[in-house]
Amino acid sequence: MNMHFIDWSIVAFFALGLFSVAIYTKRYTKSVADFLAANRCAGRYLICISQGVTGVGAISFIAMFTMYYESGFTAYWWTIALWPVGLLMMLCGWIAYRYRETRVMTLAQLFEVRYSRRFRIFCGILAWLSGVINMGIFPAVTARFFIVFCGLPQDVHLFGLNISTFALIMTIELSISLLFTFLGGMVVVAITDMLQGFFCNIAYLVIIVVLYFSFDWSQILTSLKTAPLDASMLNPFKTTHASSFNLSFFMMNIFIYIYTVRTWQGAQGYNCAAKNAHEAKMAGIIGTWRGLIQNTLILVLPICAFTFLHHVDFAAKAQTVQQTISGLPAGEVRDQVMVPLALVQMLPVGIIGLFAAVMLAAAIGTDQTYLHSWGSIFVQDIILPFRKKAIDTKQHILLLRLSILLVAVFIFLFSLFFRESDHIFMYLTLTGSIYTGGAGSVLLGGLYWKRGSAAAAWCAMIIGGGLSFFGLVIQTAWPSMVPALHKWFPTSHFINSNLEKFPYDGMQISFYAVLLAILAYIGVSLWGWLVLKRPAFNMERMLHRGPYAIKGEHIEGETVPVTGWRSILPSKEFTGIDRLLHAGLTLWTLGWFIFFVAVTMYHLIIGTTDEWWAKFWWFFVILTVVLGTITTIWFSIGGIKDMKYMFKALRGAVINEEDDGRVTEEDLKAKTDSGEKAVAKA
């Protein structure tokens, strides 16, 4: 085993503390609204920290380890181009603000309000199917990591039986996530995620300090310079021969990121848990600061692992890792274990246990949130719309728990038998686009375009989801199809040049599916408006604005928030601190983007050297570590305050039995002023 007693003690202490918090917190879940949306009592810091853990789970760590191990610093450079886009979306509350105004509990519920009940059920089924297939590899990737990292045997003997360690670890990890979700739904999920976020941020800092004293910058540079000339790991403008994570990958990724904001429902509980729309917006604004230290660690760890495996100073220890890797079959599985195998040789006793605890926290945080989301969606958007009467609160929560259990069993079996053939990022993007490929158009049109029609929504979902699903099937079946294709088309250069792997990766397939879905939504909506003369939808009623405004949702006297370009400026809802955060984020993001443009232009005109990039990356890492330390303290204080507020609000909350996510006939009986049906139950 690779783990010392001290390492195991750290993991055990962390898990025990988390169990204690979960058991204490479950007392605050009393209603369906508590279980599904924490009764909309979450503050900005709680949402921000908790979603940070959810958004970067164990599988995301491993996926990014694989990416940065292959591409080095160059992959990070292109993400800077995304920052101003993200800034604009956060400042104006892109999607998040209007979504929270509708007061829905799931995205498909919004689709019923905006389009129709049948469309809600269809989207609920598609979201659930896409979600569980996407999540299907989570337990497998996590279990594979722990087996390699902890040095566990492939099988263990329990009660006279020979049990697969792979299956045993998946069972343990899923059982913990299930228990937390069962205990109190979104209330327990949010609080435990936040505490895991506290722990992880502190652990990130400790690990980075250890890496600083373990590796010299000159050793890192020497190793990175061994990469091929056109697949540089320092200079992002010399990556034309990079196999997967090149410029085109990041450009498509940026486009899909904008298109799918709030569309993916893996964390749907957080989408509706904010105290109000402004808090949801502010959680997005401060999210940039929260991720500094986390992103730095995820970038630096695989680069240090690459140095460990390629620099002569570490050759003796690295030989053990190389021998183990050479015994594994080539492909995605080997890529996934490369960094974990290096880490157990790099890190000292105690830090190995600390990192294992971080990965356990990341796995639990993501899995419990996803289990909650997909289990809730199955009940709320597939079962509930068929019922005309409400379900008793206890029965409703029991049904949600059974649904969550169903998801856990499904993904366990999926992980047990399915084997990935593409990069984790590509797989997640492609399986996610089975739903988001069309849902992005449907959500954007539904919230921002009064001319978007139900017919357009159906077309976008069928085209976007259908193409993505077809791409996943072909990509998975490609190795077994090639012999037959080669026999039928023996002279085809296309077949002969792509014998082992389908020529289009998950990102490319998703990108094309999204483009066709957008064209379908716009085209069909325009046809309904210009040719069929369909009336416009009443957006104010759906968003609870103007005469439909709900007291307490906006500041006193403001029933219609500002729109257009003014929405990126601080509104009356902003406090003095909010305005300061707004200004700080704007200056930080625009400053980096101007730097990005200037360096790009300089390179195109004059050219940049590897030496210049080496100095830049050293400065960047040091800067983010310093700022990350400050933000860790800042967010910890804010998170504790939000946690106290949530407990106080839940203790005094009045249970509303009707706030269960249904859209009733009474809700839909009144036609809007334009002739369309639309109202979301408060």
pLDDT tens, position by position, 103-144: 887 788 888 889 988 898 898 888 898 889 888 888 888 898
Q: Domain for residue 91, yes or no?
A: no
- H-state helical runs in 26-159: 32-37, 44-55, 58-71, 74-79, 83-91, 96-102, 107-114, 117-135, 138-150
Size (the chain), residues: 682
Residue 411 lies in a domain: yes
Would residue 1 count as lying in a domain?
yes
Residue 504 placed within a domain: no
Q: Average pLDDT for residues 408-424, to the nearest whole number?
A: 82
> What is the token pair recorded at 577?
């601190």
Give me the sign of the Cα torsion angle 21, 23, 27, 31: positive
Among residues 370, 262, 278, the alpha carbon closest in space to that of 44 is found at 278
Whether residue 474 is contained in a domain is answered as no
* Residue 335, domain member (yes or no): yes
Q: Residues 142-188: pLDDT tens digits?
A: 898 888 888 888 888 777 778 889 899 999 999 999 999 988 888 89
Amino acid in position 494? F
Cα three-residue angle 660-666-670, rounded to 5 degrees: 130
- The single-letter code of the amino acid at 302 is P
CATH number, domain with residue 341 = 1.20.1730.10
Domain span holding position 156: 1-79+108-249+277-418+633-651
Rounded Cα distance, 167 and 501, in Å? 28
The mean pLDDT of 606-629, rounded to a whole number, is 89
Query: Kind of pairing, strands 161-164 and 155-158?
Result: antiparallel
Q: Mean pLDDT highest for which of 75-79, 333-337, 385-389, 541-545?
A: 541-545
- Tokens 């993991």 sit on residue: 11
For the packed helices 351-378 and 138-150, what is the interaxial angle rounded to 10 degrees?
Answer: 170
Tell me, what DSSP letter sits at residue 536? P
Q: What is the pTM of this model?
A: 0.78
C-alpha to C-alpha distance for 264 and 440, rounded to whole angstroms: 9
Residue 290 covered by a domain:
yes
Q: Which residues of 498-519 are buried (b: 16+ CB within 10 A; e: fewer)?
A: eeeebebbbbbbbbbbbebbbe
Among the residue ranges 17-21, 322-326, 583-587, the one predicted with the least confidence is 322-326
Other CB atoms within 10 Å distance of the CB of residue 12: 12
In a domain, 556, yes or no: no
CA pair distance 407, 404, nearest whole angstrom: 5
Q: Domain tally for the chain? A: 1
Mean pLDDT of 371-376: 89
The answer on pLDDT for 674 being more than 50 is no
**Which SS3 state, helix, strand or coil, does residue 662 take?**
coil
Helix (H/G/I), strand (E/B), else coil: 671: strand
Which two three-digit tokens encode residue 495?
């077949």
Backbone phi and psi for residue 158, each to the nearest 5 degrees, phi listed first: -130, 125
- pLDDT digits over 205-246, tens only? 999 999 988 899 999 999 988 887 777 888 888 766 555 555
> 499-537 pLDDT, tens per residue?
556 667 777 888 888 899 999 999 999 999 998 888 888
